[in-house]
Structure 1
Amino acid sequence: MADFVPLTRTEMARRLAQDIPEGWYVNLGIGIPTMAADHIPVGREVFLHSENGILGMGPAPAADRIDPWMINAGKQHVTLLKGGSFFHHADSFAMIRGGHIDLCVLGAFEVAENGDLANWATSAADAAPAVGGAMDLAVGAKRIWVVTEHTTKEGKPKLVQRCSYPLTALGAVSRIYTNLAVIDVTSAGFVVREVVPGLTLDELQSRTGAPLRLVETLGTMETLDA
């Protein structure tokens, strides 16, 4: 039996948030990416953007502080930091398409070793429909990071040599955060930067559908209790 514990969704979001630099304009996609808003390090100024027309979002509101009119593109209630603003969604997409977003964080069904991204599907009526703004974000943002579980519920790898799902964008992804590892997408393929405590490269490789390489100094992903 493997002697390691995968990160929770909250831990994945926190780990990703630690890497967002000061001053970046960042769009957080639906799902785990949105959770990163709650874990931006104290004192670090990051400008969170939502494609429905918000800039300057803060963490999720407390249950007794919800403003029903203030929601992000995933229909979740949000807060607005001092200096934040609202605008038409056409202006929001002009920011995206004009290359003004430093980083977009998205979920994924699959990421290929060359950075191809597959992250859309026809959803239920009460969920985000089809591709949404993901295609604009994937080609308009300066860089794309993905945060997702390393495998499907059935244990099928999400990190693959070639995507089998319809593609959102070609060669767009530069870094992946999973519940098992932090992995860069390079010209040489997947390069592992960090793994959860107790996980070996062989164990990680067995859960990955493409060859893995290691950085010279492999880091360890921290849990919330670390």
Structure 2
Amino acid sequence: MNSRELIAKRVAKEFKDGMVVNLGFGIPTASANYIPEGINVILQTENGGLLFGPKPSKDEADQDLANAGGEPITMLPGASAFDLSFSFSIIRGGHVDATVLGALEVDQEGNIANWKIPNKFVPGMGGAMDLLVGAKKVIVAMSHTDKKGNPKILKKCTLPLSAANVVNLIVTDKAVIEVSDEGLILKEIAPNVSIEEVISNTEAELIIDDDIKEMKL
């Protein structure tokens, strides 16, 4: 199992029956492939769709069905499609139970930066700002460090924020960390990863839970 699959599988464990969940593109979208059996989740894509399913194979993909990131999706029986304004009415109206998004940086105050990359043109923030303040729960799915090995979980974000004090849970390839009023609580560690490894790859201060478990997959 690669790190992307590990994160996606763990994120899917957070889904509860009947939840409306928005998935950002990339690793978050991959979690649609690992929803536990018997759990019925209504997945929402911000470009205008409810009740989409796992990512199709290349041969099965319909070029007219894609998520906000342009990735192919499947639509399950009973699914609906609608325009962007209606989609954001769902998001801003507080009807999304959880959103799963990637991030460039997260800090110990629950701040998140996930849109502005230094020295790189980006068209804008997209729907992240609305999702981060509109969803009832914010789950961040990302690698624990960047490509150079630098920590992405910081004491204070250095990049422009997408939203402040909104993150509830961080799932990485090394750990599951809960954001609380007291700070970041290390709840689970990935298989074959030690507590010391998580700490050494995290700039933010971590509260070590008394009953740390191995990540549930």
Aligned to 1:161: 155
Contact kept? 1:161, 1:210, Cα under 8 Å: yes
2:93 to 80, 98, 104: 98
Instruction: Report the RMSD for the aligned CA atoms in angstroms.
Output: 1.8
Residue ranges of structure 2 left out of the alignment (5+ in a row): none
Aligned to 2:206: 212
- For residues 152-192 of structure 1, give each alpha carbon's deviation from its aligned partner in whole angstroms, at most 9, with x where no partner exists: 11111111111000000010100000000000011111101
Aligned to 2:27: 32
Label 1:194 to 1:166 Cα distance change in 2 as closer, same or farther (>3 A). same
CA drift of 1:7 comes to: 5.4
Aligned to 2:47: 52
Aligned to 1:78: 73
- Structure 2: distance between partners of 1:124 and 1:61: 31
Amino acid at match of 1:39: Y
Aligned to 2:6: 11
- Secondary structure of 1:138's aligned partner: helix
Label 1:65 to 1:11 Cα distance change in 2 as closer, same or farther (>3 A). same
Identical aligned pairs, as a percentage?
43
Amino acid at match of 1:171: N
- Structure 1: distance between partners of 2:72 and 2:41: 19
- Structure 2: distance between partners of 1:124 and 1:62: 31
Aligned to 1:202: 196
CA drift of 1:76 comes to: 0.8
Aligned to 1:87: 82
2:107 to 107, 112, 132: 112
Label 1:185 to 1:7 Cα distance change in 2 as closer, same or farther (>3 A). farther
More displaced 10-residue stretch of structure 1: 10-19 or 165-174: 10-19
CA drift of 1:130 comes to: 2.6
Contact kept? 1:51, 1:133, Cα under 8 Å: yes
CA drift of 1:120 comes to: 0.4
With the length of structure 1 as denominator, give the TM-score of the two structures: 0.91
Q: How does 1:160-199 map to 2 (within 5 A)?
A: 160-199=154-193
- Secondary structure of 1:179's aligned partner: coil
- For residues 97-123 of structure 1, give each alpha carbon's deviation from its aligned partner in whole angstroms, at most 9, with x where no partner exists: 011000000000111101001000269
Count of residue correspondences: 216
- Structure 2: distance between partners of 1:97 and 1:73: 17
- Secondary structure of 1:63's aligned partner: coil
Aligned to 1:3: none
Aligned to 1:20: 15
